[in-house]
Amino acid sequence: MKIVWICHFSNSEIQDIIKPSRRIPDFAPWISNTIRVFENSQSVELHVISPHEFIPRTREFMLGGVHYHFFNAHIPIWGRHWPAFFKFDYLTDYWLNRFIIGRLVHRIKPDIIHLQGAENAYYSSSVFQFKGKYPIVINVQCFKLDRLLLTSFSRVYRKRIRIENSILQGFKHFSIRTTKMEMELKAFNPQAVTHWVRYKMAAISPIKTEKEYDIVFYGQINKTKGFEDLLEAVAVVKKRMPKIRLLVIGSPSPDYKLVISRIINELDIGENITWIGYMNSLQDVYKEVSKARISVLPSHVDIIPGTIIESMSLGLPVVSYKAGSIPELNSEQENVLLVEIGDIKGLAHNILLLLADSDFATDMSRRGIECVRKKYNEIDVLGEHRSCYQKVIADFQNQEKVHST
What element of type H or E holds 116? strand 112-116
pTM, full prediction: 0.85
Q: CA dihedral in degrees (261, 262, 266, 269; nearest 10)? A: 0
Distance CA 155, CA 158 (A): 5
Among 210, 216, 181, smallest CA distance to 196 is for 181
* CA quadruple 196, 202, 208, 214: dihedral sign: negative
376, burial (CB in 10 Å: exposed 0-12, middle 13-18, buried 19+) = buried
Burial (0-12, 13-18, 19+ Cβ within 10 Å), 370: middle
φ, ψ (nearest 5 deg) of residue 331: -65, -30
CB of 3 closer than 8 Å to CB of 114: yes
SS3 of 318, please? Answer: strand
Task: Show the domains of the chain with their CATH numbers.
Answer: 2-198+380-404 (3.40.50.2000), 213-377 (3.40.50.2000)
Cα-based distances in Å from 340 to 30, 300, 306, 332, 347:
27, 10, 20, 19, 9
Which are the contacts of 29, defined by CB distance < 8 A and separation ≥ 6? 9, 11, 202, 282, 306
pLDDT at position 220 is 87
> Do 43 and 1 contact (CB within 8 A), yes or no?
yes
Query: For residue 108, how far is the Cα from the chain centroid?
Result: 27
Contact 310, 219 (CB under 8 A): no
- CA 322 – CA 328 distance, rounded (Å): 9
- For residues 396 and 135, the answer to whether their CB atoms sit within 8 Å is yes
Confirm if 319 and 214 have CB atoms less than 8 A apart: no
> Mean pLDDT of residues grouped by 10 in the chain (405 residues)?
97 96 91 95 96 97 98 94 88 95 98 95 97 96 53 67 92 94 91 94 90 95 94 98 97 92 97 91 92 96 89 97 94 96 97 97 97 88 96 94 74
* Dihedral sign from CA coordinates of 77, 78, 83, 89: positive
Q: What are the CB-based long-range contacts (under 8 Å, 24+) for 31-37?
A: 31/5, 31/7, 31/116, 31/199, 33/199, 33/200, 33/201, 33/202, 34/199, 34/200, 34/381, 35/5, 35/66, 36/64, 36/200, 37/200, 37/381, 37/382, 37/385
- Beta strand extents in 140-245 (DSSP E only): 173-176, 193-196, 213-218
> What pLDDT score was predicted for residue 405?
67
Confirm if 313 and 286 have CB atoms less than 8 A apart.
Answer: no
Q: Are 8 and 50 in contact (CB under 8 A)?
A: yes
